[in-house]
């Protein structure tokens, strides 16, 4: 059937495949279609199955040639790809060049292009030098975490009558804008609006103006908003807002003592137990973050000398995945997100273009890690995998069997194996990498 095939490698890991189908195969496919339709087609003046081939070709010749062309291309491409090493990526459908059409008097040649898995050439990846920050968890870090725990375990209580609004109080207010005549603008009215003073989580950012007010007090605030104010309809304007405080609440923080530690978890008997646990967890988190930064820095270095032709279809698939994640995180329908973007004079394609550089970098990192894993022959045995599952089981207070079954049911076993493989790879690479100590960061700066 195939008279010849020719493969040409293109840029960005693309392949141009030229196929020629023998003239006899072309005529056979066309004649087969004519024979099939001659038996089934209904035409005025002829009984079913008795339409002469010449009449059928005269009336439907172009359509028959078009269908024969599609069939020949599908069959020839399937046969050719079976013998080729350069197979299309799963999400990269071959694209036909132009609009080919068979000629019954000659061989049929057509061209398709498609993306293949890239041929990655690693540069230097051993004996490199990188820099990573350092961090030590100190008393300030632990004190800050304790304050957060106090906040989380605080009781919110209403302030006594006559007590004034202060910073960090939780207030409930009614407000409405006034026009130049002092009349209320009804569409700006808001009842029972709640916010914490100092956060500026209100459209007018009137936190400072209500400090010192008492419950049921009402006053008119006049504010001038800058030209670059966050709320566009207020930018560059001066507004009068009548505001009334209807409720003032305050957080009643628990004391930092053994009782608080016991309330947080049965694991802790004393406040000192809680502090030790916080320091241990924060130290582990800092170490994980620094390791992640080391890995990122090492990949950056390796990518400098690696040659990775990233296929366009791979980038597009990554961008589509980012788009779906973006929709999911917005908790809106896709149509709603598109409408919001339209208000900003943007569309889906504009957003994808902003993400393109990051997508390409992400793909390159993934590809180079895969290549390094293959090059270094990194594998994870079943015993190593079971060891990791045992560790997860102990941390979650489940049995090994329960954890293993959960991972299998949720299709996470191979994900865990791949994660372990990547960890082993970087453990091996970092042993042969010089890591210079960079800037010393606070715990907060490091994890944020």
- Last residue of a domain, which of 99, 115, 131? 115
Whether 302 and 271 map to the same domain: the answer is: yes
Q: In angstroms, what is the C-alpha Rg of the chain?
A: 35
At 339, which CATH number?
A: 1.10.3120.10
96 and 190, same domain (yes or no) = no
State whether 275 and 337 are in the same domain. Answer: yes
pLDDT value of residue 53: 87
Q: For the domain that residue 97 is a member of, what is the CATH number?
A: 3.30.70.1050
- Residue 258 is assigned to a structural domain of this protein: no
* Statement to judge: residues 270 and 379 lie in one domain: yes
Task: Answer with the one of 115, 143, 166 that is the final residue of a domain.
Answer: 115
Q: How far apart are CA 413 and CA 396, in angstroms?
A: 17
Return per-residue pLDDT of the chain as tens, 448 residues.
899 999 999 998 999 999 999 999 999 999 999 998 888 888 887 877 778 888 889 888 999 999 999 999 999 999 999 988 888 998 888 999 999 999 999 999 999 999 999 999 999 999 999 999 999 999 999 999 999 999 899 999 999 989 999 999 999 999 999 999 999 999 999 999 999 999 999 999 999 999 999 999 999 999 999 999 989 899 999 999 999 999 999 999 999 999 999 999 999 999 999 999 999 999 999 999 999 999 999 999 999 999 999 999 999 999 999 999 999 999 999 999 999 999 889 999 999 999 999 999 999 999 999 999 999 999 999 999 999 999 999 988 899 999 999 999 999 999 999 999 999 999 999 999 999 999 999 999 999 8
In a domain, 320, yes or no: yes
Q: Which H or E run contains 446? A: helix 443-447
User: Are 210 and 276 found together in one domain?
Assistant: no
Are 175 and 193 in contact, with CB atoms under 8 Å apart? yes
Same domain, 271 and 398: yes
Q: Give CA separation, 97 vs 18, 111, 399, in Å.
A: 10, 6, 58
- Domain match, 408 and 280 both: yes
Query: Looking up tokens 């409930």, which residue turns up?
Result: 172
Domain assignment present for 146:
no
Query: Which pLDDT score is estimated for 129?
Result: 97
Q: Of 216, 223, 247, 257, which is closest to residue 237 (Cα–Cα)?
A: 223
Q: Are residues 247 and 309 in the same domain?
A: no
Q: Is residue 45 included in any domain, yes or no?
A: yes
Does residue 260 belong to any structural domain of this protein?
no
Burial class (CB in 10 A: 0-12, 13-18, 19+), 429: buried
159 and 100 both lie in a single domain? no
Q: Are residues 299 and 404 in the same domain?
A: yes
Asked whether residue 121 is assigned to any structural domain, the reply reads: no
**Structural domain of 216:** 155-252
What's the structural domain count of the chain? 3
Asked if 396 and 247 sit in the same domain, the reply is no
CA triple 420-380-384, angle to 5 deg:
80
- Return the CATH number at 190: 3.10.50.40
| Residues 243, 315 share a domain | no
Q: Is residue 79 part of a domain?
A: yes
Residue 141 falls within a domain, yes or no? no
């Amino acid at each position: 059937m195939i008279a010849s095939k020719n493969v040409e490698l293109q840029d960005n890991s693309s392949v141009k495949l030229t196929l020629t189908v023998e003239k006899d195969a072309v005529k056979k496919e066309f004649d087969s279609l004519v024979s099939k339709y001659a038996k089934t087609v209904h035409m005025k003046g002829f009984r079913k199955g008795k339409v002469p081939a010449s009449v059928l070709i005269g009336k439907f010749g172009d359509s028959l040639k078009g269908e024969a062309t599609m069939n020949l291309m599908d069959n020839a491409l399937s046969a050719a790809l079976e013998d080729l090493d350069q197979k299309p990526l799963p999400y990269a459908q071959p694209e036909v060049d132009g609009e080919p059409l068979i000629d019954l008097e000659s061989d049929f040649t057509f061209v398709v292009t498609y993306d293949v898995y890239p041929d990655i050439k690693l540069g230097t990846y051993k004996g490199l030098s990188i820099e990573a920050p350092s961090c030590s968890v100190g008393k300030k870090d632990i004190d800050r975490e304790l304050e957060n725990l106090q906040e989380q375990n605080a009781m919110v209580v209403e302030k006594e009558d006559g007590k004034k609004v202060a910073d960090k109080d939780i207030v409930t207010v009614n407000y409405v804008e006034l026009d130049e005549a002092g009349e209320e603008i009804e569409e700006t009215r808001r009842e029972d609006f709640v916010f914490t003073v100092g956060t500026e989580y209100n459209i007018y950012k009137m936190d400072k103006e209500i400090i010192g007010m008492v419950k049921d007090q009402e006053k008119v605030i006049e504010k001038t908003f800058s030209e670059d104010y966050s709320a566009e309809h207020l930018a560059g304007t001066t507004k009068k807002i009548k505001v009334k405080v209807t409720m003032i609440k305050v957080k009643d923080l628990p004391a930092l003592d053994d009782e608080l530690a016991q309330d947080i978890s049965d694991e802790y008997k004393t406040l000192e137990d809680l502090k030790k646990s916080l320091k241990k967890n924060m130290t582990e988190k800092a170490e994980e973050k620094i390791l992640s930064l080391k890995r990122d820095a090492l990949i950056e270095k390796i990518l400098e000398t690696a040659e990775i032709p990233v296929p366009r279809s791979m980038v597009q698939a990554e961008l589509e995945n980012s788009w779906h994640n973006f929709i999911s995180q917005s908790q809106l329908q896709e149509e709603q997100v598109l409408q919001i973007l339209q208000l900003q004079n943007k569309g889906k394609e504009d957003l994808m273009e902003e993400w393109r550089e990051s997508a390409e970098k992400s793909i390159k990192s993934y590809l180079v890690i895969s290549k390094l894993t293959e090059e270094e022959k990194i594998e994870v045995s079943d015993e190593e995998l079971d060891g990791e599952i045992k560790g997860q089981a102990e941390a979650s207070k489940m049995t090994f069997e329960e954890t293993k079954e959960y991972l299998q049911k949720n299709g996470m076993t191979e994900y865990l194996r791949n994660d372990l493989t990547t960890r082993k790879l970087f453990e091996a690479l970092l042993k042969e990498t010089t890591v210079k100590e960079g800037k010393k960061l606070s715990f907060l700066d490091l994890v944020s």
